[in-house]
Structure 1
Amino acid sequence: MAASHQTPATAHKEIVVLGAGVVGLTTALKLQQQGDYKVTVVAEVIPSDPKSIRYTSRWAGAHHVYNPIDDTGLHQFEEKTFNVMWELSAPGNDAEECFLRITQTEHFFTARAQPDPLEKLPSYRPLKPEELLPGAISGATFHTITIDTPIYLNYLLTCFLAHGGRILRGSLIHLHQLLEGGTALFSGGTEHDPKPDAVVICVGLGARFLGGVEDKNMYPVRGQTVIVRAPWVRFGRTESKDASGALTYIIPRRSSDVIVGGTRFHDDWFPRPRPETTEDILKRGLKLCPELAPPEVRAVREPTVEDVLPLIVGEGCGLRPARKGGIRLEVQWVDGATVHRGEGRIPVVHNYGHGGFGFQSSWGCADKVLELLGDAFKTQETA
């Protein structure tokens, strides 16, 4: 029998991704798809777990609306991500159920920087003066997608596992625990697991507390939403006024749930919905979108908040992982805890600090991680 010429499994680089939010799972899937890496995700919370304030991705709205181009890098990440998600949302695609293609309308009450990247979205059209809300100075309508976050997160996890990835439940106090002990430290790992050749940190707000990282530039931007069952709402609408914390938006999902929001309060750590905020969100949401009320009510009279209350199926509260200075996306060479045994330094790629834009920058950032890792291993080989 002829000798096998298969590449031994040990020839693959062992990559550990910390975190199973949208950024961690997208990054892990992108790396695993390359074929050169064996990727293990280590996470304290995974998508199928009950909702937790420690897992932000489940709480996201989420729709894809480009930010102003204040940060060219962020816009490039968002553009790449939109292109991937638009393709995933196409009729007949395996991921179609994760998305809803909608007509989105935006009303702006302050000047928007030019050039406006929204012009790149499908069917873009500026609003006419008579179409604007009272007090708005500009606006636009275009086609985009919304994301049913619980379904999409489990889709990413399923794809990652189907491509041969592995997920282990666990948490770290310090990065060096992983560098020395490897994945054998966690339930499902074994003593035969090789030590990681690289680590990718996608722990969001946890980067503030993880030993070996302890990024004090990380802080929460608390968001609160109300979830309403209104299958007749199949469009998105947003009212962007100022930075006071109030941002009103209507985000329908394919499931017939509609996310009504919301808030943006910096350094607010409170983990539960505040009743007075829920009331305020409903008032603002109904004013922006009277269509939230059932059609039979609107046919006979002007709707009130009381008409929407029976439609509520949940409330959301999440801590967006923001960072002073923006996303941290770079390589750091770290001395392993066992460097005295000749195991040297390994690349640690930081991919966190996405604030409220993790979903809409996820694929672009994953591409960048792939590039950074490839360059790091080339540097290692030529050193």
Structure 2
Amino acid sequence: MTAAPPPPAKIPIVVLGAGVIGLTTALRLQETGKYQVTIVAEFIPSDPKSIKYTSQWAGAHHVYNPFNETNQHALEEETFNTMWELSAPGSDAEESFLRIPQTEYFFCEQAQPSPMEKMPHFRKLRPEELIPGAHSGVTFTTVTIDVPIYLNYLLMRFCARGGRVLRGTLLHISQVIEGGTRIFAGGSAHDPLPAAIIVCTGLGARSLGGIEDTAVHPVRGQTVLVRAPWVRFGRTETRDTNGASTYIIPRRSSDVVVGGTRVVDDWYPRARPEVTLDILTRALALCPELAPPEIRAIRKPTVEDLSHIVVGEGCGLRPSRKGGVRLEVEWFDGASVHREGKIPLVHNYGHGGYGYQASWGSASKALELLDEALKVNSKTE
């Protein structure tokens, strides 16, 4: 009997970054069966929190952003559909999500038609349902993401599919193009050089040599984490077209993320006490239900009533980019690092505060760009 031919060798790919964009992209590529993906990252989900690792600080929920830079709403729609499946009862990822009713109040004009109209159970609020001063409002069903659990879910699923993760810090993109994964602890001298690099470095794209994208900048966000298992709904008020808002995001774990702020080019790495007080004051006005039920039963709650349920404060630097998300291929001249031909760099960064809700759509687009750059059959297993 003639032996079956061996399966074709998988194409080696390196993904830079293990935030939600890097993890989702690496997983999407690995699950095609065509690619052997290695993530190279300075931080991974199980690490202590760091201001350099933004994904750990996210809210996060799926509510369409008010802009549509680089066709971002299409990326968000695909992501919501995937997350809705992942959050289904009995799913392997169910514990990462909470399905909730969400209410949005707008104090400014909104683009029409609204992309939120695609959400389950969408309807516009009646005038009598609006809070004082609100111009309009909507309600629908969405998902929130418990980010510490979800990031580890993505990582474990990636590794279970044969993906590999290496610790590494790059000064210049040429280092990994010339040396591949061999130059990192855990790499091997026998590792093949990557056929392509996927750049998912978020804010790091600003300083990474060979990329140095000056359009990338931080938008600092500060939040407060409270323990309020009685809150099982989301609520947001948007005050201006820049996205400044107050929001209530409950998680399955019984924690509630209360926010927030949006400050461009603010690099401060710690929570400011005066901002925490302002967030809690705004949040209680928007959502008196944050206060414990036993207090609300006897009197009007105050900000002081929230102090004993605060379990943490946080701030993150959203990796925003002027001109929106960068999803495109750039060709690196291999001759400059002793390699023949040109090596494709697939850029997938600049999502700002919308990384989670655009993650799966961005990963699919990155896969499409990679397949086209390498002229690989796009049929998946």
Residue 243 (structure 1) shift: 5.2
User: Does 2:331 match 1:333?
Assistant: yes
Q: Deviations over 1:155-187 (max 9, x none)?
A: 000000000000000010000010111101111
Matches within 5 A, 1:142-181: 142-181=140-179
For residues 337 and 172 of structure 1, the distance between their equivalents in structure 2, rounded to whole angstroms, comes to 20
CA contact (8 A) 2:202 2:319 kept: yes
Which of 122, 125, 130 is residue 124 of structure 1 equivalent to?
122
How many angstroms does 1:340 deviate by? Answer: 4.6
Instruction: For residue 70 of structure 1, report the CA deviation from its aligned partner.
Output: 3.3
| Deviation for aligned residue 1:3 | 3.8
2:109 aligns with 111
User: 1:337 offset after TM fit, Å?
Assistant: 5.4
**Identity within the alignment, %:** 69
User: How much has 1:66 moved relative to structure 2?
Assistant: 1.0
Residues 1:345 and 2:345 aligned together: no
Q: 1:22 to 1:76 in 2, by over 3 A?
A: same
Normalization by structure 2: what TM-score?
A: 0.96
Structure 1 position 356 matched with structure 2 position 343: no
2-structure distance, mates of 1:253, 1:219: 28
Asked if structure 2 preserves the Cα contact closer than 8 Å seen for 1:180 and 1:337, the reply is no
Aligned to 1:237: 235
**Matching residue within 16, 19, 38 for 1:18:** 16
1:356 match: secondary structure: helix
CA RMSD of aligned residues (A): 1.5
How far did residue 51 of structure 1 move?
0.3
Matched, 1:375 2:372: yes
1:5 paired residue number: 5
CA distance in 2, matches of 1:312, 1:68: 30
Q: CA deviation at 1:378?
A: 1.6
**Cα distance, 1:68 vs. partner?**
3.4
The equivalent of 1:87 in structure 2 is 85
Residue number in structure 1 paired with 2:194: 196
From 179, 182, 199, give the equivalent of 2:180.
182
Q: Select 1:366's aligned residue among 355, 363, 368.
A: 363
Aligned to 1:285: 283
Contact 1:245 1:263 in 2 (8 A): no
Matched residue type, 2:366? V
Q: Per the alignment, in what secondary structure is the counterpart of residue 352 of structure 2?
A: coil
TM-score normalised according to structure 1 size:
0.96
SS of structure 1 residue aligned to 2:314 = strand
* One-letter amino acid of the counterpart of residue 153, structure 1: L
Indicate the SS of the match to 2:260.
strand
CA distance in 2, matches of 1:338, 1:167: 27
Matched residues in 1 for 2:272 and 2:161: separation? 41
Q: For residues 236-258 of structure 1, give each alpha carbon's deviation from its aligned partner in whole angstroms, at most 9, with x where no partner exists.
A: 00010025774200000000000
Secondary structure in 1 matching 2:38: strand
Q: Which runs of no fewer than 5 residues in structure 2 stay unpaired?
A: 377-381
Unmatched 5+ stretches in structure 1: none
